[in-house]
Amino acid sequence: ITGLVAAPLAPFDQNGNLNTQILLSYTELLLANNVIGVYVNGTSGEGSLLCVEERKAIAQGWIEASHGRFQQIIIQVGTDNLKDTMTLATHAENIGATGIAVLPPVYNAPASPDAVATYLEQVSSAAPNTPLFYYHIPAWSGITFPLEDILEASSHRVPTLAGAKCTSSDLSDYCRCLRLHGGKYDILYATD
């Protein structure tokens, strides 16, 4: 992945109601500013605060508004509930997302990089044809293992693993991930 991938805000109106109609103009604005994709329902998109149906509607809204003009539409599907996460992953694949991103549970966080890999493997099985990105945001998630260790633990267990969104100030870890397995993974840097 080369180019800018935006993390858009959730489209709510002044009354707190979901307003996916605005996504068409949001898409036009992003495309006019040379943004090549969107990372939907992440931290900026308030994904962790939304119910499953709201997240599905927002994901569907971005797919419909873009009319295939974005190179990337990555849908963040992680929740604190594996069943909901898998439901969102399947939905993202079914609507044509180019990738899914996964933030593991933060309340009962995985206790090791291998445990993260197990979780990602389960989620991957719900969207077996869609590239998966691990969402690495240690300051918020409390999952502080080096990203390199998580990718290494996942590399042979998660067949759809495509990379990670790295929201960490550990540039050494980030640079190691860029070189891991000969540069196999797309590592989106998101500490801005």
Catalytic residues: 135, 165
Q: If you ran DSSP here, which 8-state letter would residue 12 be given?
A: B
Q: Tokens at residue 171, please? A: 């540039």
Closest CA to 188 of 116, 135, 120: 135
- Cα dihedral sign for 88, 90, 94, 99? positive
Residue 50, SS3?
A: coil
Closest CA to 151 of 166, 172, 168: 166
Long-range contacts of residues 61-67, Cβ cutoff 8 Å, at least 24 apart: 61/11, 61/20, 61/23, 62/8, 62/23, 62/27, 62/38, 63/95, 63/96, 63/97, 64/20, 64/23, 65/20, 65/23, 65/24, 65/26, 65/27, 66/27, 66/38
